[in-house]
């Protein structure tokens, strides 16, 4: 089972260290997330199209720029497209210094440039008849531990509820705590299916009740929903709003992340890490040499809709 909790247990086994006072779960999570960032950077550099998300751009008031998505990994934009009815045309990227070359010109944009956090369409669109799409490398969710695996779902009451195997100790209904906001995570893909606010924790029944009238409409750029989405099902996970408790990557990337964390933790504890470093280089070579000409089914652009495919 690919879960963050299993990653933590695997890492403790490799360290032969079960004493949480010596190595806390928080420290392990920090190193796992560092490993995930390094892994994602390797894949994003070699095969950006394979992990790209695609979205529709909302133009700013000037009608010639749109903002870079906040969740873009290192602001990596891979494509911009002009869409008109039944066809889509990619635009050619130019350097920001060439923006002035299009000054005073209007017409149908054929190029784009990135300046700071804005994407400029060049030349400015004189028609307003197009839809603009962009593909970008979407940042992966941070790894967090689970707060319960869903066993039952009840959408019949005024406030929807789920029964989990065990309620996590980090959850809170305190109005001053952000731990009252949770993500529901797909058990297979690790994607966030919805974000909700806790109303009550009925620990005797392992039941979690969610608010229908929420105190916030958005937290950390996530919309807070008032009901359980129909895509949410048994065996999905509850975790804090900070991330996902199911890693997006599987083998060999999954192994690389664990090996990276093991290597860095051993080094930080003053333990011999030479063998671990050798193993880490081997996993990194596997990532670097992965064949970019994979089956087309694995090279699907991610959209903002729910998806259950998984790569790597």
**Tens-place pLDDT, residues 178-201:** 999 999 999 999 999 999 999 999
Q: For residue 182, give the nearest of 213, 228, 140, 139 by alpha carbon.
A: 228
Across the chain, which distance is largest between two alpha carbons, in Å?
A: 69
Give the number of other CB atoms < 10 A from CB of residue 278.
10
What's the pLDDT score for residue 301? 41
What's the pLDDT score for residue 18? 63
What's the pLDDT score for residue 295? 40
**pLDDT by residue, tens only, the chain of 312 residues:** 789 999 999 999 888 766 666 889 999 999 999 999 999 999 888 888 778 889 999 999 988 999 999 888 888 898 999 998 888 999 999 998 898 888 888 888 999 999 988 999 999 887 778 899 999 998 899 999 999 999 999 999 889 999 999 999 999 999 999 999 999 999 999 999 999 999 999 999 999 999 999 999 999 989 999 999 999 999 999 999 999 999 988 888 999 999 999 999 999 988 888 999 999 999 999 888 765 444 433 333 444 434 444 445
Give the number of residues written for the chain.
Answer: 312
What's the pLDDT score for residue 299? 38
What's the pLDDT score for residue 305? 39
Cα separation, 278 vs 263, whole angstroms: 10
Domain with CATH 2.40.30 in the chain: 144-246
The domain made up of 144-246 has a fold known as Elongation Factor Tu (Ef-tu); domain 3 (2.40.30)
- The structure's pTM equals 0.81
Looking up tokens 């197009």 gives 130
Q: For residue 312, give the nearest of 250, 255, 222, 241 by alpha carbon.
A: 250
| Phi, psi values for residue 140, rounded to 5° | -80, 150
Cα separation, 40 vs 155, whole angstroms: 37
- 213 CB-near residues (< 8 Å, 6+ apart): 226
Instruction: List own/partner pairs for 13-16 with CB under 8 A and 24 or more apart.
Output: 14/258, 14/262, 15/262, 15/265, 15/266, 15/269, 15/271
Q: For residue 71, give the nearest of 113, 6, 107, 117 by alpha carbon.
A: 117
Terminal alpha carbon distance of the chain: 16
Cα four-point dihedral sign 126, 129, 135, 139:
positive
What's the pLDDT score for residue 44? 87
> From its phi and psi, is residue 277 left (phi > 0), alpha (psi between -120 and 50) or beta?
alpha
Cα separation, 83 vs 301, whole angstroms: 16
Helix/strand/coil for 232: coil
Cα separation, 134 vs 56, whole angstroms: 6
Looking up tokens 């889509």 gives 88
What Å distances lie between residue 30 and 10, 33, 92, 192, 258, CA to CA?
15, 5, 39, 20, 12
**DSSP state for residue 244 in the 8-state scheme:** B
């Amino acid at each position: 089972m690919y879960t963050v909790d299993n990653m933590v247990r695997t890492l403790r086994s490799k360290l032969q260290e079960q004493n949480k006072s010596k190595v806390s779960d928080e420290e392990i999570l920090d190193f796992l997330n560092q490993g995930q960032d390094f892994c994602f950077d390797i894949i994003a550099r070699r095969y950006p199209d394979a992990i790209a998300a695609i979205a529709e751009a909302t133009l700013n008031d000037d009608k010639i720029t749109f903002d870079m998505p906040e969740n873009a990994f290192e602001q990596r934009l891979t494509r911009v497209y002009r869409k008109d009815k039944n066809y889509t045309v990619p635009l050619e990227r130019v350097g920001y210094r060439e923006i002035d070359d299009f000054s005073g010109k209007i017409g149908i944009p054929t190029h784009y440039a990135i300046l700071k956090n804005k994407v400029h369409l060049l030349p400015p669109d004189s028609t307003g008849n197009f839809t603009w799409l962009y593909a970008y490398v979407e940042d992966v969710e941070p790894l967090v531990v689970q707060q319960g695996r869903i066993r039952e779902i009840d959408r019949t009451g005024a406030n929807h509820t789920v029964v989990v195997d065990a309620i996590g100790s980090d959850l809170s209904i305190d109005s001053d705590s952000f731990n009252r906001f949770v993500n529901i995570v797909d058990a297979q893909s690790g994607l966030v299916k919805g974000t909700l606010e806790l109303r009550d924790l009925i620990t005797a029944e392992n039941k979690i009740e969610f608010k229908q009238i929420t105190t916030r409409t958005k937290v950390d750029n996530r919309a807070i929903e008032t009901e359980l989405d129909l895509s949410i099902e048994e065996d999905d996970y509850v975790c804090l709003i900070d991330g996902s408790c199911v890693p997006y990557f599987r083998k060999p990337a999954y192994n690389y992340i664990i090996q990276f964390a093991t290597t860095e933790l051993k080094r930080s504890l003053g333990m011999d890490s030479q063998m671990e470093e050798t193993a880490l280089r081997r996993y990194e070579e596997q990532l670097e040499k992965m064949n970019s000409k994979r089956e087309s089914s694995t090279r699907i652009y991610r959209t903002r809709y729910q998806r259950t495919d998984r790569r790597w």
